[in-house]
Amino acid sequence: MGEAGAGQRRGRAAQREARAQRTAGLGRPYILRNIPTYDILGEDNLVRIEQAADRILAEVGVEFRDDPASLELWRRAGALLDGVRVRFEPGMLREILKTAPPSFTQHARNPERSVEIGGKSVVFSPAYGSPFVMDLDHGRRYGTLEDFQNFIKLAQSSPWLHHSGGTICEPVDTPVNKRHLDMVLSHIRYSDRGFMGSVTAESRAEDSIEMARILFGPEFTDANCVILGNVNVNSPLVWDGTMTKALRAYARANQAGVVVPFILGGAMGPVTNAGAIAQSLAETMAGCALTQLERPGAPVIFGNFLSSMSLRSGSPTFGTPEPAIGSMVIGQLARRLNLPLRCSGNFTTSKLPDAQAMNEGTMSMLAAVHCGANFILHSAGFLDGLLSMSYEKFVLDTDFCGALHSYLDGVVIDDNQLAVEAFKEVGPGAHFFGSAHTMANYQTAFWDSELADNDPFEKWELAGSADAAKRANALWKKRLAEYQAPPLDPAKDEALTDFVARRKAAAPDAWY
């Protein structure tokens, strides 16, 4: 574990900058962590996990289904093929992964919002993939394109997120084969931050990348990361062709794939944490290595998604202790591979923005922060076991993301912060309220939540005894009402609109 002191000068500057930017309504583009990662295993045990992953890869192997081009890449790289089953000699994938960059920049259309992914950087992105949306007024229903755009606007309005995300919710009122066009266009129009494209078909991945090319120019796009694609392993140990084709499309265009097993312990993986971690390592290494065969040097993110299940009901559980612990180990393994990490997020099975939601969410989000995740995809919005995006939870979570900015700034140790002279000024038994040291430092001292109620009980009661969910309900409405779209070059908007129209006209709507 490293020493945080070296980064403290930067930490202090970052605090000041954060305060300045907050006043101006802007957040930092991303966080540079000033606290070390929380490393919970030693070398011996990490090696044991790596050896288990190597044995899984060599003795069981991974299936690459419905994608002969992937099989051909593996064959040429020296893997052992048996039909669609691919086996790997120990060490082979690690060797291939050496061409992947340890850190890269994802450019945003507003250069001030470009993010670094890797090293000490931490990027918060909205949650991804729910079919449903929820709010306190109307309960749960299927997401629409309007909801999708609302969440982009809420994300863009928050100084505590750094990224616009991808499929924040499924816009089920748009045709399945065309909604990626509406989603990418919405990200570009309503946010000036980085975003993610489609992966649900190779052609949709290529459409997404093509829209990024229109926005950033084809040469810039070929030389720089401007869009991410999040692909899932069909755990255990299966890569479906839809995913590998999309993954290769992003790599081919020099764009970053995010490679993510979804292991529900006891179902898609063993019920023991160590085994699920070894499996995750094996599956992710295989996916990441495939990008390097497609295009050596293409950026790729080592992703992970552990969860547990209720042994009474068989239901998935989230925000529980075992995946939190597992995330810390995954972080150590990713750093040993020298790859940027996506891990964990703000997870819960609660159906309301209540005590359970924030207990589980805080547990899993802190695991993401502690494990050294560079790109935290599901930072805000999830309820209902990842099936619903909640408007209230979204603003509760973004507020918590704000607290995590201060948390990741750590503690600065210098003469001003140590304040010995202030003790001489104030002396025993007196208070520091009006002291010169307090006056000089109070503006940057403490995180100040927009949603927490810190008032005395009587004042809170007089104001209507609202709970946090009710305050969140008022806040997201205020944010949407005040939202203003960031300026977009009209020529680019027109070119994108034209592209979308042409692509939509090229095929009939499909709803499945």
Residue tagged 């202790």 (tokens): 321
Establish if 330 lies at the interface with a copy of itself (CB under 8 A). no
Q: Residue from 103, 224, 338, 441 that binds a copy of itself (CB under 8 A)?
A: 441
Cα–Cα distances in angstroms (integers) from residue 57 to residues 61, 63, 307, in the given order: 4, 10, 22
Three-class DSSP category at 232: strand
Please give the structure tokens belonging to residue 502. Answer: 């042409």
Counting residues that bind a copy of itself (by CB under 8 A) gives: 135
Cβ-based nearer residue to a copy of itself, 413 or 507: 413
Integer Cα distance of 164 and 148 in angstroms: 11
Please give the residues from 15 up to 44 whose contact with a copy of itself meets the rule CB under 8 A: 35-36, 38-44
Q: How far is CA 461 from the centre of its chain?
A: 37
Please give the residues from 203 up to 242 whose contact with a copy of itself meets the rule CB under 8 A: 234, 236-238
Cβ-based nearer residue to a copy of itself, 77 or 267: 267
Binding mask 406-435 for a copy of itself (x = CB under 8 A): xx--xxxxx-xxxxx-xxx-xxxxxxxx-x
Of the candidates 182, 115, 187, 111, which has an alpha carbon nearest to the alpha carbon of residue 156?
A: 187
Establish if 324 lies at the interface with a copy of itself (CB under 8 A). yes
Integer Cα distance of 186 and 361 in angstroms: 27
Integer Cα distance of 256 and 249 in angstroms: 10
Candidate segments 57-65, 156-164, 182-190, 211-219, binder of a copy of itself by CB under 8 A: 57-65
Cβ-based nearer residue to a copy of itself, 59 or 482: 59
Candidate segments 167-175, 216-224, 321-329, 483-491, binder of a copy of itself by CB under 8 A: 321-329
Establish if 512 lies at the interface with a copy of itself (CB under 8 A). no
Please give the residues from 280 up to 309 whose contact with a copy of itself meets the rule CB under 8 A: 308-309
Candidate segments 158-166, 224-232, 293-301, 314-322, binder of a copy of itself by CB under 8 A: 314-322
Establish if 93 lies at the interface with a copy of itself (CB under 8 A). no
Of the candidates 168, 221, 171, which has an alpha carbon nearest to the alpha carbon of residue 195?
A: 168
Between CA 457 and CA 464, with CA 462 as vertex, the angle to 5 degrees is: 100
Antiparallel, parallel or unpaired: β 62-65 and 85-87 = antiparallel
**Minimum Å distance from CB 402 to a copy of itself?**
9
Establish if 467 lies at the interface with a copy of itself (CB under 8 A). yes
Three-class DSSP category at 47: helix
Establish if 185 lies at the interface with a copy of itself (CB under 8 A). no
Cβ-based nearer residue to a copy of itself, 81 or 452: 452
Establish if 361 lies at the interface with a copy of itself (CB under 8 A). yes
DSSP conformation letters of 418-453: H-HHHHHHH-TT---TT-HHHHHHGGGTS---SS--
Binding mask 158-177 for a copy of itself (x = CB under 8 A): --------------------
**Minimum Å distance from CB 504 to a copy of itself?**
33
Candidate segments 94-102, 195-203, 335-343, 379-387, binder of a copy of itself by CB under 8 A: 379-387
Q: Residue from 384, 389, 496, 499 that binds a copy of itself (CB under 8 A)?
A: 384
Say if residues 403 and 413 touch (Cβ distance below 8 Å).
Answer: no
Between CA 157 and CA 166, with CA 160 as vertex, the angle to 5 degrees is: 70
